[in-house]
Amino acid sequence: MNRTIFRAACFLSFMFLITAAAAVAEQKGTPACGHSDPAQYKEYRSAHGGAGSLMLMELLKSDIFSTNLIYVHRGVLPPGSGIGEHVHRTMEEMYFVFNAPAEFTVNGKTAFLPAGSTVLCPLGSSHGIYNNSDETLEWLNIGVTMAGKASAVDYGDSLTAQTIVSPAPFKWAQFDRTLLRPVTGAHGGKGTLLFRRLWGDESFKTNWAWVDHVVLPPGTSIGYHQHNGVEEIYYVLSGRGKITVNDHTWEVGPNDATPCTLHDSHGIFNNTDKDLEIFVVAVAMEKGVTNVKNWGDDLTGR
């Protein structure tokens, strides 16, 4: 082969390998972020036999997760609408309502819970929700299976005429700032944030690991760290900040959901003059195994 042609071929092969490697690295390292967008909501009538219609979107694609986290839905329940009573035999589900109270039903018992509430629907428990108010209910739900896909059995009850009991006889929690406690240097982060673990892995039969409520005052952070046995979702309730995943940093705000998938390095910094309020959902590959590493970066220089 002519020496000039040979050199050109080697150079082109080398550039192809560099380009391909860069593309793979970018594909592997570039994070996803779910943005709640009402323009993307789809209408679902009589969900599980419930009243009226609900609107929702898939906030995060399930195929990005290696754990058994199978969906994150974000949407609204208009007045007089709901999700009928149903049961999942192989899945645990969690409902969140943000801006208004709602009627939650678990195993045939119904309680009227305040805005900013979250309800655990344990494995094999029947459940549903109904919006009996005049306000459109901002709503989210997350599902984690024992394995594979989750089927549902509908009970044929729209839950529109339930007897309300108090206190609620099932697992629920509220995003109540008065219950938060100070934590300094979280994962090597800057300053003192406010923290509460709503539920740990002992509350679940699936590999759900925890649900945390966190407020980051101005100038504080959760340091850069990595879970090698856990996947997390950071969901912004209020405020703004900067999140870093695999050395990519960008701004997040209300109703943004950032997945930190298996082996992703991640953390969040409040670079504003107002509180940043989030909740963190984690699912493990193996129950009870987290394998965390802190990288010694408080992210304030990102």
pLDDT tens, residue by residue, 259-296: 999 999 999 999 999 999 999 999 999 998 989 999 99
Beta bridge partners of 260: 232
CATH top class, domain 34-174: mainly beta
Percent of the chain surpassing pLDDT 90: 85
Please name the CATH architecture into which domain 177-294 falls.
Sandwich (2.60)
Residues 6+ apart with CB under 8 A from 37: 57
Structure confidence by residue, pLDDT tens digits, 61-104: 889 999 999 999 999 999 999 999 999 999 999 999 999 999 99
DSSP for 161-178 reads SPPB-SS-SS-EEE--GG
Q: How high is the mean pLDDT of the chain? A: 90
Query: How many C-beta neighbours within 10 Å does residue 180 have?
Result: 16
DSSP for 73-123 reads EEEEE-TT-EEEEEE-SSEEEEEEE-SS-EEEEETTEEEEE-SSEEEEE-T
Q: Would 34-174 and 177-294 be classified into the same CATH topology?
A: yes
- Residue 185, exposed/middle/buried by CB under 10 A (0-12, 13-18, 19+)? middle
If you average pLDDT over residues 193-204, what whole number do you get? 97
Structure tokens that stand for 96 in this block: 């969140």
- How is the chain split into domains, by residue range? 34-174, 177-294
